[in-house]
């Protein structure tokens, strides 16, 4: 058993890095105040809504960073990185709920739900955007932008030190663009900022007002889905805007390594990537089915039918959550199509949620390999690999089994969450759809999620969003680690 001094030293480092992330969260809480330049009449909202919670969070962060930080920076294990991610995300989500309580009049459960939905880039909302201030609207979008990049990734890019891969793995960024972790994090944040800038300009040129363009660009590239309009993208009913949003959603869905190779012009490496190939099959196939068997009988013109089918399928698969129509008149097949896409989700090491396309591709390939082996001699050797970047990634049975176990755990949590919603009187179809949206961090809704929803429903969805945004295994192991280590340290101290 590890000795108490060693544990204490490790947890001092954990709390120190947690403090650094809290300081960054405190700084982000002040960023909406830039909007006061344009909407100075909202200055009365600044102090109670943003300055006070930012000060409290910053004070706690500064205390942890200064008091717990040692002279030497400690290299973190994946489990320790997970502990930091759990603690920092939990505290930042709590602090970020304050503006919704003070300025929007939401209850605690509703405010925490909105905060978790923002940071996890889900987009399910209980805020009445028609009554929300500009500060609240931009704050929701900033949460999604920062949550998509990952608090820990932003911190790694901002500070020096041998932090190690623990933080990035815990936030779902197991792949590095370059060998050095900090340099890789900087590239990710640079690409991400470029997406946001280009997206804002594209949406403005397509016909949105500048404020709407900024908010929707932040939500699109983070695959978040928060909108400034109750009708989401359907408010504009514009071909140009939809044509600008779809590429942004797909870019946000891409693995950052794939995006990095694309920007470098390495098209061959991009095109043989398993996730890209899977997406290239799923998007047109599901859009065609949705068009022919769902939209054709609902909407009057070919133009509208095709636009709805393409946009809703892209929004579900990329886990963005924007919509152009409501789903009240969709048939059961339409619900099934979107549920399947929401469960599959986006690319690994991206801003998207879901089981992830890489795991689905690996399991499909393993099925094909097993079929091939049945018709080959026993002595035949079959190379089991997929392309990741420019390298062949050879898959062992253990890794394939891990992907299968992840799918099992994911679907188990999905079943439990669906049961919670169904137990509150919602139909099975509604419950399956809404919790698939929550755990996949998508944001599409059939009306289950609202400010009037039962608190237990909102908390179940909040837990689903939290688990769906972060890596299941790492977070579960990290929570177990906390419950094991803390009693050990207290017992030794006595």
Find out whether 172 and 150 touch, Cβ atoms under 8 Å: yes
**What does residue 329 show for φ and ψ, rounded to 5 degrees?**
-105, 10
* 464-491: b (≥16 Cβ within 10 Å) or e: bbbbbbbbebbbeebeebbeebeeeeee
CA distance 18 to 432: 35
User: Crossing angle, helix 181-206 and helix 256-263, to 10 degrees?
Assistant: 70
Positive or negative torsion for Cα 472, 246, 231, 33 = positive
DSSP-assigned letter for residue 47 = I
Q: Which two tokens stand for residue 462?
A: 């909040």
E strands, 297-418, where? 385-388, 391-394
Going 312 to 441 to 213 to 200, the CA torsion angle's sign is negative
Work out the angle at residue 90's Cα, subtended by the Cα atoms of residues 86 and 91, and round it to the nearest 5 degrees. Answer: 120
Q: Enter the tokens of residue 222.
A: 């983070």
Q: How far is CA 48 from the centre of its chain?
A: 28
pLDDT at 319: 93
- pLDDT mean by block of 10 residues, the chain; 494 residues: 68 85 92 94 94 96 83 67 85 96 95 96 94 96 88 51 51 54 74 92 96 96 93 96 96 85 84 89 96 95 96 96 94 96 88 88 86 75 68 79 92 96 96 96 94 96 90 76 74 56
Structural contact between residues 50 and 139, judged by C-beta atoms closer than 8 angstroms = yes
| pLDDT score for 26 | 95
Is the CA virtual torsion 109, 111, 115, 118 positive or negative? positive
């Amino acid at each position: 058993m590890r000795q108490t001094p060693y544990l204490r030293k490790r947890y001092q480092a954990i709390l120190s890095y947690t403090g650094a992330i809290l300081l960054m969260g405190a700084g982000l809480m002040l960023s909406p105040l830039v909007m006061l330049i344009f909407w100075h009449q909202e200055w009365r909202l600044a102090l109670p809504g943003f300055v006070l919670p930012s000060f409290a969070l910053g004070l706690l962060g500064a205390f942890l960073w200064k008091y717990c930080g040692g002279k030497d920076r400690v290299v973190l294990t994946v489990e320790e990185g997970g502990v930091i991610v759990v603690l920092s995300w939990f505290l930042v989500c709590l602090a970020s709920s304050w503006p919704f309580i003070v300025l929007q009049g939401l209850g605690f459960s509703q405010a925490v739900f909105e905060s978790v939905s923002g940071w996890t880039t889900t987009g399910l909302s209980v805020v009445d955007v028609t009554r929300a201030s500009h500060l609240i609207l931009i704050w929701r979008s900033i949460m999604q932008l920062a949550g998509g990049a990952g608090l820990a990734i932003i911190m790694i890019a901002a500070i020096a030190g041998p932090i190690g891969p623990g933080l990035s793995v815990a936030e779902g960024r197991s792949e590095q663009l370059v060998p050095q972790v900090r340099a890789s994090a900087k590239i990710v944040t640079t690409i991400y900022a470029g997406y946001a800038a280009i997206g804002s300009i594209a949406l403005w040129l397509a016909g949105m007002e500048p404020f709407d363009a900024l908010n929707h660009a932040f939500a699109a590239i983070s695959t978040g889905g928060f909108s400034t309009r109750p009708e989401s993208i359907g408010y504009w009913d514009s071909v140009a805007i939809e044509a600008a949003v779809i590429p942004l959603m797909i870019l946000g869905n891409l693995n950052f390594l794939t995006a990095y190779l694309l920007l470098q012009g390495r098209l061959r490496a991009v095109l043989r990537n398993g996730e890209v190939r899977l997406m290239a099959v799923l998007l047109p196939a599901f859009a065609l089915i949705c068009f022919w068997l769902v939209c054709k009988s609902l909407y009057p013109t070919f133009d509208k039918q095709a636009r709805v089918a393409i946009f809703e399928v892209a929004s579900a698969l990329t886990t963005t959550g924007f919509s152009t129509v409501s789903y009240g008149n969709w048939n059961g097949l339409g619900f099934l199509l979107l549920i399947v896409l929401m469960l599959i989700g986006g690319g690994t090491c991206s801003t998207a949620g879901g089981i992830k396309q890489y795991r689905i591709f690996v399991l499909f390939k393993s099925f094909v390999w097993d079929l091939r082996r049945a018709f080959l001699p026993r002595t035949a050797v079959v190379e089991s690999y997929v392309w990741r970047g420019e390298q062949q990634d050879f898959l062992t049975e253990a890794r394939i089994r891990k992907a299968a176990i992840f799918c099992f755990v994911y679907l188990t949590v999905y079943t439990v969450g669906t049961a919670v919603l169904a137990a509150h009187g919602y139909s099975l179809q509604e419950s399956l759809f809404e919790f698939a949206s929550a755990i996949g961090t998508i944001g599409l809704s059939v009306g289950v999620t609202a400010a009037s929803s039962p608190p237990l429903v909102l908390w179940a969805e909040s837990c689903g969003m939290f688990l769906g945004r972060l890596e299941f295994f790492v977070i579960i192991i990290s929570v177990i680690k906390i419950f094991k280590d803390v009693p050990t340290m207290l017992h030794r101290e006595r």
